[in-house]
Homo-oligomer: A and B are copies of this chain.
Amino acid sequence: MSTRYQLHTTWASLERMATRSKPYNFSAGPAILPPVVFERAADAIRDLRSPPHLRDAPRTGLSVLEISHRSPSFGSIVHRAETLCHTVLGVPTTHQVLFLQGGASLQFAMVPLNLGQPDHASCYIDTGIWSKKAIVEAKLQGEVHVVATSTPSGYDRIPPFPAARTYANSSYLHLTTNNTIYGTEYSDIPTVDGDVPLVVDCSSHIGSRPLNLDNVALGYAGAQKNLGPSGVTLVFVRKDLIDRCAHDRVPHILRYATHAKQPSLYNTPNTFGIMVLMFVLEWIEQQGGLTGMAASNGAKATRLYEYLDSSQLFSAYAQPESRSQMNVVWNLDGMASQERTTATARFIQAAENEGFVGLKGHRSLGGCRASMYNAFPAEGVDALVAFMAEYERTA
């Protein structure tokens, strides 16, 4: 099965694609990264420069894949990556940055094992499958209160932020800030009343827009959306919380305190992944930082939502006030269930034939999804809208 772009001369709006050798990749993650990052990563695999972020730095003669995680070359990578999390992503200096393994899924377990306090419940806001997975893991370790949910409407919106009394005295309050499956997003981090620590899974939109991370006690993100390849997890934790641990049988590798002692070097980290993350953060900085990202992401999302809202064939899944700039989810309109499944599959195949890949919705929801992370080009959205409008016209 080839997913390469096929030249299609009848649509003027798609002409630009004729020069592309690359499909438009709407994958939800692992996801598209900037071309310059691919180039630099490939170059560092052949012969690492040290320091690697300087294009004219001397070559080491070694691949980044073969250098020790305790070498000066890797030390400079991890230190610079940490610094860029503060300066580019806006992680406050009151927080320790850690690059761990195991993805957000391991954080679902680590959060209750560290921040859970005896005789205190932990509170969760339920915005869909990823929240629910976090809740399942928290329930293994103690009492959980779900203090807000949008399950009655099929997670097509973010629920109103709960009143302070609902989460008072809890160990922490947990929130998933962007929901890839349904295409819903908190446009900023809410403010928590009182001193209950706010924990956020911001995997799928950190780096895409300015977020007020001062409100966050502990944040985590699998890197494979806007930050880098899979296999690296960004964690940032307020320093006064690092030494919290639910009980004395928690394995050392699952304690934030263990990793904070020698940041990200308690054991051998994903050295390559951390380097790529560093390259990505440099690219974001060069593009105008999070303000620049927000502007381009906002324009891309608006373009697609405006078309969907005007379409007679397609309709966006998320309610307008909750819509994600990262993941746009839509369905085909006005059909019975079986007919819709067939028509959706036909549309997705037609799009793939034209070089638009990764448009299949999450298996739990069906439908279509376009993930348009930072590195996704605006012209790819224009091309998709043109394709969809033509598809609608001729369908």
**Interface residues of A, Cβ cutoff 8 Å to B:** 1-5, 21-23, 25, 27-33, 38-39, 41-43, 45-46, 58-63, 65-69, 71-72, 101-106, 108-109, 113, 136-137, 140-141, 222, 224, 229-232, 248-254, 266-273, 276, 357-358
Contact = CB atoms under 8 A, between A and B. Distances in A.
Looking at A66, A229, A267, the one whose CB has the most chain B CB atoms below 10 A away is A66
A46 B63 CA distance: 16
A65 B271 contact: no
Contact of A69 (B60, B61, B65, B230): B230
Instruction: Give the 7 A-B residue pairs with the shortest CB-CB distance, closest first.
Output: A231-B270, A109-B251, A101-B101, A105-B267, A42-B42, A42-B45, A22-B61
A42 B41 CA distance: 8
8 contacts: A30-B271, A102-B267, A105-B253, A136-B252, A230-B271, A231-B232, A231-B269, A231-B271
B41 A106 contact: no
Contacts of A231: 101, 231-232, 268-273
B105 A266 contact: yes
A22 B48 CA distance: 11
A38 B61 contact: no
A21 B272 contact: no
Nearest to A113: B251
Contact of A67 (B22, B30, B60): B30
Given A68-B30, A101-B102, A140-B251, A268 B2 contact: no
Contacts of A61: 3-5, 21-23
A306 to B, nearest CB: 27
A2 B22 CA distance: 38
Nearest to A233: B101
A249 B140 contact: yes
Contacts of A4: 58-61
A63 B45 contact: no
A69 B271 CA distance: 20
Given A4-B61, A103-B101, A253-B106, A33 B66 contact: yes
Contacts of A251: 108-109, 113, 137, 140
Contact of A2 (B28, B58, B102, B137): B58
A109 B254 contact: yes
Nearest to A32: B66
Contacts of A141: 249
Given A140-B251, A141-B249, A230-B272, A267 B62 contact: no
A249 B113 CA distance: 11
Contact of A103 (B23, B30, B268): B268
A263 to B, nearest CB: 16
Contacts of A58: 2, 4
A270 B251 CA distance: 22
Contacts of A276: 65
Contacts of A272: 229-231, 272-273
A27 to B, nearest CB: 5
Given A42-B42, A253-B102, A69 B1 contact: no
Contacts of A72: 1
Contact of A137 (B108, B252, B266): B252
A84 B58 CA distance: 37
A268 B108 CA distance: 14
With most chain B CB atoms within 10 A of its CB, the pick from A30, A102, A232, A273 is A30
A236 B355 CA distance: 39
Nearest to A136: B252
Given A4-B60, A61-B22, A68-B29, A103 B136 contact: no
Contacts of A253: 102, 105-106, 108-109, 137
